[in-house]
Amino acid sequence: MSPKISKNRTNAIKKLANDPALSVGDLETALRKIGQVCAHTLGVEEVAIWQFSQNGENLTCIATHRAGRKGPVKVKQVRTQQIKNYINAIQNGLYMVVLDSSQKIKPSKMADEFMRQEIKASLHVPIYVNGALNGVVQFNQLKVQRDWSLTDRVFACEAADLTADTLRNFGTKGIEKYTPDIRDMLDHTLNHVLSELDLEYGMIRLDEIPVVRGYSPEAEMEFVNQYRTSRELAEQTVIIRDVNQAAGGSKKLVDALKSAGIHSFITAPIVIDMNQIGCVHIASHTTMDWKPEAVSLLEWTTRHIARVVDEIWSRQDNLTLSRLIQRFQNSVQNLNRMMKFDEAIKAVGKSATDVLETDMAFIVLRNPDNTISCPWISGLNSGTINRIVDTEGASIESILRRSKTPVLFPDVRKSVLPASLQRHLTEKKVRSTRIFPLVYEEQTMGAVVGFYKQTRLFTRNERSVLSLFANTASLTLQNAWMYDQVEQGYLGLALALAHAEDAREVTLADSSMRSAKLAEETARALKIPEEDVMSIHWAALLHDIGKKDIPENILQKSGPLNENEWEMVRLSPATGEKMLEPVPHLHGVAKIIRNFHEHFDGSGYPDRLKGDQIPIGAKVLAVTDAYTSMIDKRAYRASRPPQEALLEIQRDSGKHFDPVVVDAFKNVAAKYMS
């Protein structure tokens, strides 16, 4: 049977934490004080505190309190090489019952080095300092056998935390070689809690890091969406004994869990620096009357995870955060500019692979008609991915619709991705996947889906940077889409006006189209960059848009123009430039339209530029527009034969036109004349 236990254990720990003896004087005295109070409160005869040496080669008993004994005890030491299995076991759980009333060592042989014949029951709890294993607190029963209750175990864990704080106050550091892998630690922790409470359903969420038992990937994603939007769940432990009677802010989460077959659950937030960064969740498919000790275990577990993870993240931030911020800043510089949508997709994809450090990735988008497209792929076969997306479009659209926050699936085979995609990724040696939603005004427009051969976990501060990147990427795509829409609408209006000018001036309505074709081919013959070729193409289509304010009787006049009429004509290029200024992407086009009436010898208008002062696009358009004007029939004159028009162009080479452009155009025109 167990000895009588103090009922006010929590107050005992709080009172002890404020004892001056734990922060002044010497470390051994402080630790013996902890041992004395814990032995009395827990009702054990001995509390021993063991610490690893800085090189991790030895585990030494640095303080012991034994009831009835005064003064220090003889220092004991064990070589870690002799207790490898014990160290693994103590790292893989929240605590370890080494000996109880059954008088059997659990697990067998692991703790032989610590067992003395007089020990009747023994409970061991690891000490973590600075996120790394530093030692062990052992609670030993010497006189009578004992079964360690759940209340006993939670108190022992709180005592180990206080011991860790005391060691840290005296300058002790953790042993870096015993720093746990965060995901492994969460995995072992959830296993331990579920085993202790005899449950099958549970989840630990630490930002995006998931550890899940019993739930499907779809139920897990729905849990994450609802949990992160519930203020009630973020601020306090929620205990639901019967989901059919639940109400309040957790109602949506309750509904999501009901659909997964859950009847009762507890969810406790994990908090670091007053910020909720995750939760520990346990559940049952039957109605449960949750006992206080189960709630205490869960709440202590959240505090334990927070203290260990916070210290591990702090060390990781020192190594990686500055590099991530630099990559983010580089990405922002690339994304914060006006782009067409196709260009923006590529820019977001490239930036995402840099910031998220993916091995492979693609972007999927929800189209206005709720179909799915995959406009950008990196590191994977585009044909295969697009076939899968085409086949599994409805499934992927459903995933996107439910994705509001980033979700990491450490095992791609247990993700929400379609089975055919899982198989393909497994063949590519992909281990994990991260779905990174692109959300604008609470609507998921798509996602960057990243893939890893080795999982990359981000700290809380790194995740803040990633959230900023997600906002920037979403805004970039939305702005690019709106830019395309505005540009297409404005361009459509501009083209309509340009065609109207064609119709006013010529009997053939395709004059600008012919000029655009000739200008495009001449530009390519001059090896002008493709982006500039397209600007020349659009300038040729829109070159007469500035004539909209010129009266038709002037445009159709058969005789010479007077000075006032010529002034109106000379102003038309500048008017065309102003009309295109609202479209940033057409600024290059506008410049060509302004200057295509300039002459190589400086006698043109509106700015009297000459030679290399004239943009190359304007030089090309000057030649092709003059040529098409001569071969088109006008109201005030007949058309001229192409050969005659070309000779006229050549005669003006070096005067009106750049000789280099004329030579290139001559070859292009000759092809059409033949």
**Residue pLDDT, tens place only, 472-490:** 888 888 777 766 765 666 5
Structure tokens at 2: 């167990």
- Please provide the distance, in angstroms rounded to a whole number, between the alpha carbons at the two ends of the chain: 111
pLDDT for 371 equals: 84
b/e per residue, 263-287, with b = 16+ CB within 10 A? bbbbbbbbbbeeebbbbbbbbbeee
Identify the residue with better confidence: 467 or 52: 52
Structure tokens at 569: 């004509």
**Which CATH architecture does the domain made up of 506-673 adopt?**
Orthogonal Bundle (1.10)
Beta-carbon contacts of 165 under 8 Å, excluding residues fewer than 6 positions away, are 17, 22
Please write the tens of the pLDDT for every residue from 260-280. Answer: 889 999 999 999 888 888 899
For the chain, the domains span 9-178, 182-319, 320-477, 506-673
Residue 250 has pLDDT above 80, yes or no: no
In the sheet that holds 121-129, the strands lie side by side as 76-79, 58-66, 46-52, 132-141, 121-129, 96-99
pLDDT for 70 equals: 56
Strand partners, 174: none
pLDDT for 519 equals: 92
Quick check: 166 and 34 in contact, CB under 8 A?
yes
86: nearest Cα among 73, 104, 103, 105: 105
pLDDT for 302 equals: 93
What is residue 211's DSSP assignment?
E
pLDDT for 503 equals: 47
Residue 326's alpha-carbon distances to 225, 287, 451, 457, in angstroms, are 30, 51, 22, 18
pLDDT band at 357 (very low <50, low <70, confident <90, very high): confident
- In angstroms, the CA 636 to CA 566 distance is 16
478: nearest Cα among 338, 374, 378, 355: 338
The alpha carbon dihedral of 166, 169, 172, 176 has a sign of positive
Quick check: 602 and 655 in contact, CB under 8 A?
no
Identical fold between 182-319 and 506-673: no
Please write the tens of the pLDDT for every residue from 386-427. Answer: 999 888 888 888 887 777 778 788 888 888 888 899 999 999
- In angstroms, the CA 280 to CA 207 distance is 12
- In angstroms, the CA 250 to CA 641 distance is 82
Residue 228 has pLDDT above 80, yes or no: no
pLDDT for 53 equals: 87
Q: Which of 111-125, 154-168, 645-659 has the lowest mean pLDDT?
A: 111-125
b/e per residue, 347-368, with b = 16+ CB within 10 A? bbbbbbbbbbbbbbbbbbbbee
Q: Spell out where 67-200 has E strands.
A: 76-79, 96-99, 121-129, 132-141
CB atoms within 10 A of CB 456: 15
Average pLDDT of 600-620?
94
Q: What are phi and psi of 451, to 5 degrees?
A: -130, 145
Residue 60's alpha-carbon distances to 6, 31, 49, 138, in angstroms, are 30, 14, 8, 12
CB atoms within 10 A of CB 149: 12
* CATH placement of domain 320-477: 3.30.450.40
Please write the tens of the pLDDT for every residue from 8-50. Answer: 677 888 888 888 878 777 888 889 889 988 998 988 999 999 9
Please write the tens of the pLDDT for every residue from 428-454. Answer: 999 888 888 888 777 788 888 899 998
Burial of 546 (0-12, 13-18, 19+ CB in 10 A): buried
457: nearest Cα among 281, 268, 320: 320
pLDDT for 315 equals: 81
505: nearest Cα among 27, 662, 230, 497: 497
Residue 456's alpha-carbon distances to 25, 58, 320, 359, 459, in angstroms, are 43, 32, 12, 10, 10
Quick check: 571 and 547 in contact, CB under 8 A?
no
Average pLDDT of 292-302?
92
418: nearest Cα among 381, 379, 364: 364
Please write the tens of the pLDDT for every residue from 94-128. Answer: 877 776 666 555 554 555 666 677 788 888 999 99
Quick check: 413 and 426 in contact, CB under 8 A?
yes
pLDDT for 6 equals: 44
Quick check: 385 and 377 in contact, CB under 8 A?
yes
- In angstroms, the CA 606 to CA 216 distance is 70
pLDDT band at 143 (very low <50, low <70, confident <90, very high): confident
Quick check: 175 and 40 in contact, CB under 8 A?
no
What length is written for the chain?
A: 674
Homologous superfamily, domain 182-319: GAF domain (3.30.450.40)
Structure tokens at 228: 């992160």
The class (CATH top level) of 9-178 is alpha beta
- pTM of structure: 0.64
Query: Mean pLDDT highest for which of 109-123, 298-312, 541-555?
Result: 298-312
pLDDT for 635 equals: 57
Residue 165 has pLDDT above 70, yes or no: yes
Structure tokens at 489: 């609408």
